[in-house]
Structure 1
Amino acid sequence: MARLKPKFFKKFRKLKLPKKLLMAAGLLIVPLLVIFLGYNLYHYGLIFPNTFIAGVNVSSLSPEKASSLLAENIDVPEKILLVANDTPWIIETKEIDLNYDYAHSARTAYERTRTGNIFYDFVKRAAAPFVKTNLGLRMSLDEEKLGGALSVIAGEIAVEPVYPSVQLIAKQISVEKGKAGTDLDVKILRAKIGQVLAFASSEPIIIPLKEIDPTLTDEEARVLAGRAEKLKDKVLTLKFEFQTFTYQGNQLLGLLDAKKEYREEATTELANEIAKSVNREPQDSVFIFEEGRVKEFAPSKEGVTLDAEALTVKIKESLTTLEISEETLVSIDVPVEKKAPKIQTEDVNNLGIRELIGRGSSRFAGSIANRIYNISLASSRFKGVLVAPGETFSFNDVLGDVSGFTGYKQAYIIQDGKTILGDGGGVCQVSTTLFRAALAAGLPIVERRAHAYRVSYYEQDSLPGLDATVFAPTTDLKFKNDTPGHILIQPVVDTKRASLVFEIYGTSDGRIAKTTKPVVTNVVAPPEDLYQDDPTLPAGTIKQVDFKAWGARVTFDYSVERGGETIYQKTFVSNFRPWQAIYLRGVGPTP
């Protein structure tokens, strides 16, 4: 706004208005001011005129009298009537705890012209005699109960849209373009309900509906199919410590968003699922040593919390890489935040047991109950075993006698070129797993022998040739502790997941163990199945007592480096014989 110059005011002062005009203006303004002042004095403590609350005239009343008048004249509606597609729905107002606050309503009407803003209040008061004001009632209700009632109605009215999706069916990409649906517009409906109730009305409310149409255009469907085609044969792996999460096929396609890049809710759900397996509280170390063996041990572990936001970013970046590049596999490390435990492993012992230096695992899905029992029993013999620096560990020495007298049950074993039922079947699952842990720890393997034939259990999560058989007193598994401190052996058996893990703890001296991928050569098919008559079995009975396996020669190299120098290396050779399936055919009398 332009500023008036001082000269303007000098001219204005010199301007002489007619006296009659000034007198007329004074005669008009003064009475108006007197009337307006009297009007305000009259309504001191009262609501100004032409004011209604829900249709009830509260003009020129005190808030207290207005409140009483409202209580006498307002008919509280008993129900809310909602209508959609000529179908009525009723919500009882008592079910949502509707209550009117008449005192607050009257006070609001009173304070409407007493805001403290002089200009605003002047205008409102001056206009009051000429402009009718109808205010709504102040009220309260249970929003949660109202929301529940509306959810029930929405469930009956809504037509769920079919959201676009892409799937791999019989190796072919199939795109669902989606279908439109309708839903109740809760925000608008709540506003309408509030308006009707504020004026104590029982008029029906037309339920507002909104269309939800996620349907893809032909072009969008074509683009989505093209993206899926690039991902259908690719793999995304997420790794944390010894856990690997693998996603491929429809698991990856389900992350695609036809209208954006990737589905936010799907990537968030994926991150939340991984968090369940990754997150943990810090764990203090426990170390109780009695009679030459560690009776109780728990290594210290850092507390871990998944960084879900960082993980979703990594997932999206990896998916983009898989889409635009020729790479068939992308592997990412799961980002986490760590919290140190109060008591570290090295704080509770002076034997050099500081950290995990080796870990081996195997699976035994499909094992009979007796074999699983034997695996658990044999593994328990190695819990808390200490191997001193320079000492050579003998599997058989620690295991001890394997027989029915020492608690073992009968399960299948390989003996004298045959698969037979014998005490301790499953012990070789334990020796195989410990062999893998010793390799991972970089320990010198003094003695190891492969099985006579390939055993399916040992290839459930591994390539062939990484097994170790034992049979006292002729066949043993031995390795040497050439680390600077003691090493501690700890088994972990999970019968529900059919998995066995051996962990070796000690002091890392910086060594790095490497094993090459096993090379399989001289593959020989198994002989024809052999059927043998057995008079002890009823006629018509067939019982399998041996299982076929392909013969092969498997080799892999094992090396240990420290400070850039190779300190140990060895080539392991496994000669697996082809094995035929043998069936017993019953020829005895039928019962």
Structure 2
Amino acid sequence: MIKNVLILLIIMCTVVLTGCFGNLEKENLSNKVIELEQKVLELQRQVTNNENVVVAESDIEETEVEQHVAIKLVDPKTFTVIKTIVPKELGYETDFSAYVNEIEQIAKDLARGSETVAGYDKKMMLDKIGDNGEIIKGSPMVILKESELVERILAASDSGATVELPLYTTESNYNAADIESLDDVVVASYTTYFSPADAGRNKNIELSANAINNVIVGSGDVFSFNTIVGPRNEANGYQPAPEIINAKLVMGIGGGICQTSSTLFNAVDQVLIASVERHHHSLDVGYVPKGRDATVSYGILDYRFQNISGVPFIIKSSYGNGILTVEVRTSPDYVEMLKKTV
């Protein structure tokens, strides 16, 4: 405490010397500095002699600069500060419950994004096998663990700190050495049919079927139809065709791709996968049995599944002459592990 007082008085000398230079005459300024120096020397003497030191409030200039505790959230990949939180401004000292709600909302927005800013969470874009057998790399799944971020922020709310975002990255789980043999054995297959007369709808089926062809699904990987196929718009070649919306058949860009997602579902449902997300049409469709469909809508409804077999497989799709077929293929060594037991 004594040490702090001494330091404060020394700082005051500097403040007076610099801040008052234009307001005091040179003689008065010198006297003021000498007076403060004498007080510092007296306090030093008292500390040396272990005497009680009493400092009157009038001895300290009342110019307080209020400093709030701050928490800086840092991106661990770029080491940049992406957000600064001042707990006092969010009610930490007055309404802790409301403060926790604010922190939870901040964590949610950072993870999932908002209308204007993308979040850190990213679905896995699975790798594919190219036309020449090369591996076309996708991108890993990224998760910002919201509960962990909230805990870190709360722990730092008293004193402030630099807090790294708890980001977890998951790569596709397969061995590159298996690629050559993953095409060897058909473990499951499903075929649906369509009319060759509807050119727009057929084109949409073709594009989406090509998008999922040769996709590698490693052990534990999550396949997302919307992520793999991407936006269904004119820029990507999709055309107007009938689609079911709210129990009505209407024209829309990309109509028909639900036949691809439904055919895919009926193929992979024969092996050891876990359904993560699947939705039904509001009307029955004719290309699969009732209840065996998987409707999709980019950015709204997705078809997702996870490979829980412990071994990798690839998805093969073929389109033509009114026929769409989706197959699940794998290495001979993995066939029995991939099969679903009854």
What TM-score do the two structures reach when normalised by structure 1? Answer: 0.27
Structure number with larger C-alpha Rg: 1
RCO higher in 1 or 2 (8 Å CA, sep ≥ 6)?
2
Higher normalized strand content (fraction of residues):
1
